[in-house]
Amino acid sequence: MKRRVGYTTGVFDMFHVGHLNILKRAKENCDYLIVGVSTDELVEKYKNKTPIVSYEERREILEAIKYVDEVVPQESRDKYSAYKQYGFDVMFVGDDWRGNGLFLEVEKRFKEVGVEVVYFPYTKGTSSTVLREKLEKIK
């Protein structure tokens, strides 16, 4: 029986329970989970901010999590290119991305090659952005 390979990506800055929830749910829905961690350069390019935790440390954190089988650098937001490189069967995404132009295109292209896109509920009340805002208020 063919193993089901899953893929998800993120910045994973200031790792929190929302990140853990996505990884746990993803692993429950595949046999082998590949996690793409956004490089510092990619984050600076599309979010116009530098991650608080460096790529190397974020990668190390993800490698230590029992739900994660493999960690790879995400150097581009091109999910189809990642599919061609890693050959996954399903991609897991937080539902805060549902309806986003990037993912509407991803869904369309993945449907053509038989890759499923699964959205998980966003963990309300926690995000790296919320944590950043709280830290700013403490200053």
Structure tokens, 114: 């038989």
> Which one of 45, 47, 84, 111 is the catalytic residue?
47
Give residues with Cβ within 8 angstroms of 98, minimum separation 6. 119
Q: Where are the alpha helices (DSSP H) in the chain?
A: 17-28, 40-47, 55-63, 79-86, 101-113, 128-138
DSSP H or E stretch at residue 76: none
84 labelled catalytic: no
111 labelled catalytic: no
Give residues with Cβ within 8 angstroms of 127, minimum separation 6. 16, 18
> Which one of 24, 27, 49, 108 is the catalytic residue?
49
The single residue listed with the structure tokens 């805002």 is 133
Positions annotated as catalytic residues are: 47, 49
